[in-house]
Structure 1
């Protein structure tokens, strides 16, 4: 694999077509994965990766391509896994947003559309800001809550992290059908030894 961990969509598609041993690992929540994902992708959510980095790194017998919604969570997963000894990982730059914008092939486990975490963060943050500004007409100090949200969003942009998104990921709406870790790791091992990747169900 190339030395840079980031691949744009066209480079990722060429890599996937040229090397069938590469496993796409989707690090989003199970609900996001169920709504739309790259065909053949394996769902190992970021919280699973952060909880079991050594097990997952050891199971990755072949190269993997990490995918999330925009690239932030995949970058975080990359750091965790390479720290655990994985040396054959790359990241889809721009995540599923870039993939779908380039009309990349997609699959889904159910027909119900779901909002991605980034969209949920915008809704919650915008709702809090609007509510606090309205409340400040009666309680002036409420405007400080809007300022805190703005500061939090600026910090999230600078650090490429999002505490609100991580909190929302814990909600039942975003949990979806969680996949058995042992089953997922068996598929990861199989892919690395020449086995065929299959959709999780």
Structure 2
């Protein structure tokens, strides 16, 4: 890679950056459950939800090139914008996130089998829809549970936010306990 810091980089570019001794640091902004399930070796875990509180720790070496990683890219982009506002200038988002990294068969550390937030949301949404449909057989107005979940998922996709994920993140096994800065 050249001296120019790209806003995004693909797996090959990030791999080259890490191998060339440039001092780039990987910052994984996913939830603790996601990070524990699988992460790029050598990456530091700083969940997006705690990033604002940990900016000072990351700023200990502000000249470092930070490569931000999430599952697919949107949360890493949010982190890039937050860090840019805090004065960081050498920031790159891994295009496609950990999903692209895994698809390219790049090295990945696999850990605990805690479900990712996305999988937890799919389970809860699916269960609510199923319960709504089945219970509506006994009491017809309960069909609206399924409609409410569908509307929520549609809004989540359009706004790139997820209220259900925010609620599920409050569960003890989903809470970020620390910053590995």
Label 1:152 to 1:47 Cα distance change in 2 as closer, same or farther (>3 A). same
| Contact in 2 for aligned 1:23/1:41 (Cα 8 Å) | yes
Equivalent in the alignment of 2:144: 144
How does the TM-score come out when normalised to structure 1?
Answer: 0.78
Equivalent in the alignment of 1:39: 41
Structure 1 runs (4+) greater than 4 angstroms displaced: 1-4
| Contact in 1 for aligned 2:69/2:76 (Cα 8 Å) | yes
Residue by residue, what CA displacement relative to the aligned partner does 1:44-96 show, whole Å, maximum 9, x if unpaired?
A: 1111113x164255335211111112222212222222222221111112221
SS of the residue 2:92 aligns to: strand
Gaps of 5+ in 1: 186-201
Label 1:37 to 1:54 Cα distance change in 2 as closer, same or farther (>3 A). closer
| Contact in 2 for aligned 1:49/1:56 (Cα 8 Å) | no
How does the TM-score come out when normalised to structure 2?
Answer: 0.86
Structure 1 residue 125: deviation in Å? 0.8
Gaps of 5+ in 2: none
| Contact in 1 for aligned 2:48/2:75 (Cα 8 Å) | yes
Structure 1 residue 15: deviation in Å? 2.2
Equivalent in the alignment of 1:12: 14
Distance in 2 (alpha carbons) for counterparts of 1:164 and 1:56: 30
Equivalent in the alignment of 1:166: 166
Label 1:17 to 1:79 Cα distance change in 2 as closer, same or farther (>3 A). same
| Contact in 2 for aligned 1:53/1:80 (Cα 8 Å) | no
RMSD over equivalenced CA pairs, Å? 2.1
SS of the residue 1:59 aligns to: coil
